[in-house]
Amino acid sequence: MIEFPVGAPLAADVLALANVLPSKPNRIVLEGRYVRLIPLDLERDLATLFSLSDGSPITLANKHVEAYDADEKIWRYMSGGPHKNSDELAAFLKLQIQAENGLCLCAVDCETGIQVGVANYMNNVPAHLKVELGNIWYSPIVQRTKVNLEATYLMLDHMFAIGYRRIEWKCDANNERSRRAAMRMGFRLEGVQESHLIVKGRNRDTAWFRMLDHEWKDTKQHLENLLRS
């Protein structure tokens, strides 16, 4: 008789968490040295987010970015954008705010107190203690700074601290910048799902990355070292 193996049983406290954590993550504020993550509020945040993501020149503290291609720098691999006006951006963000299994966070630059991007907990499935980080974008004024790195660090640390076992990161398989960021921050590539989605009328193959709870101790130290460097 052939025996088929099954997964190891989970501890009672782990299973208990899977039964009580909410599908829509609780509203939280995550504080770092470089970035503060707060639940996005369109009335408060929209105008600034649009002005820093529409291709116009940006000056923030002692940093300046000349006029840029917003599609290339931000929106090419996103499901929305570039946005012609703030109403279009508002419609894009409103869906994320209203998601029944997600939490939309606004990234605020700690040095200036200015809204510089958006990141989401999405596709949250507490019954399996897994969640995805996604719909993440930052203004060019903070790209290649520690804002993105620390925002991801804070989001990972929070979810693993409350008991999640798996955190996912998915991106267009052609999005080399996102793939490099995932690998640099300690996510592991599980594979590419071909013809996964149709986005903006184009085929999207999706690269799937993940991080597991037992990997977090070492990855956390790795990220803290990057933030100190």
Which domain CATH number covers 74?
3.40.630.30
Average pLDDT value for residue range 181-190: 97
Average pLDDT value for residue range 140-165: 97
| pLDDT, position 3 | 83
| pLDDT, position 46 | 98
| pLDDT, position 4 | 82
Mapping DSSP to helix (H, G, I), strand (E, B) and coil, where does residue 142 land?
Answer: coil
Find the domain containing 62 and state its range: 13-228
On average, the pLDDT of the chain sits at 97
Q: Is there a domain that residue 157 lies in? A: yes
Average pLDDT value for residue range 33-56: 98
Q: 148-158 pLDDT, tens per residue?
A: 999 999 999 99
Residues 6+ apart with CB under 8 A from 6: none
Number of domain units in the chain: 1
Q: Is there a domain that residue 105 lies in? A: yes
| pLDDT, position 121 | 98
| pLDDT, position 133 | 98
pLDDT for residue 77 is more than 90: yes
To 10 degrees, what angle do helices 86-98 and 42-51 make? 130
pLDDT for residue 95 is more than 80: yes
Q: Is there a domain that residue 96 lies in? A: yes
| pLDDT, position 104 | 98
pLDDT for residue 5 is more than 90: no
Q: Is there a domain that residue 125 lies in? A: yes
pTM of the model: 0.96
Average pLDDT value for residue range 12-37: 96
7, 32, 167, 170, 200 from 39: Cα distances, Å = 37, 15, 20, 22, 27
| pLDDT, position 109 | 98
Q: Is there a domain that residue 166 lies in? A: yes
pLDDT for residue 17 is more than 80: yes
pLDDT for residue 182 is more than 80: yes
pLDDT for residue 39 is more than 80: yes
At residue 97 the predicted structure's pLDDT band, cuts being 50, 70 and 90, is very high
pLDDT for residue 1 is more than 80: no
CB 227 within 8 A of CB 209: no
Q: Is there a domain that residue 5 lies in? A: no
What is the Rg, in whole angstroms, of the alpha carbon atoms belonging to the chain? Answer: 18
pLDDT for residue 164 is more than 80: yes
For residue 38, what is the enclosing H or E element?
strand 35-39
Q: Is there a domain that residue 4 lies in? A: no
Q: Is there a domain that residue 3 lies in? A: no
Average pLDDT value for residue range 124-144: 97
